[in-house]
Amino acid sequence: MTKRHCSLVAPISGQIVSLEGVPDPVFAEKMTGDGLAITAESEEVLAPCDGVISLFFDFKHAFAITTPEGIQILVHIGLDTVVMEGMGITALCKSGERVKAGTPVLHLDIDLLRRRKINLISPLLIVNYDKVEDMRLPKKKRVKAGDTVLEYAV
């Protein structure tokens, strides 16, 4: 069977942080998946890949997209955004909606989140990473929303 090469685009612009550098053990110890994190600097949060929004957390701080290959990608905005109870985050899509990589999914009120001292380190994870091979993380330190940030094979 031939491997299919896939990539994820950055859902937001900002500084890339390794998962080990995320000050939350759930992410740092890869309990919810493998990937990277980006310190959010942009207001628009994009779909990192083509697929269906398979999960939208109640407070809109995180969503998952399931790719056509069955890979589940999780985008989690900030580390403690759940305390905002959805304030400062506007959903532009809904659960069950089919999206393309680069589709705007959320709009952030970055100024409000910063004023509330929300840690904007935002993990981008492959939840079922046991199903992927050859995952390659970027060498660059900063990324612009929509740029390729992670490549893998299924």
Residues classed as catalytic: 76
User: Which helix or strand (DSSP H or E) is residue 110 part of?
Assistant: helix 110-115
* Residue 66 β-bridge partners: 52, 72
Among 50, 43, 37, CA closest to 10: 37
Structure tokens at 6: 């896939």
Give the Å distances, CA to CA, from 47 to 14, 24, 61, 71, 154: 16, 23, 14, 14, 19
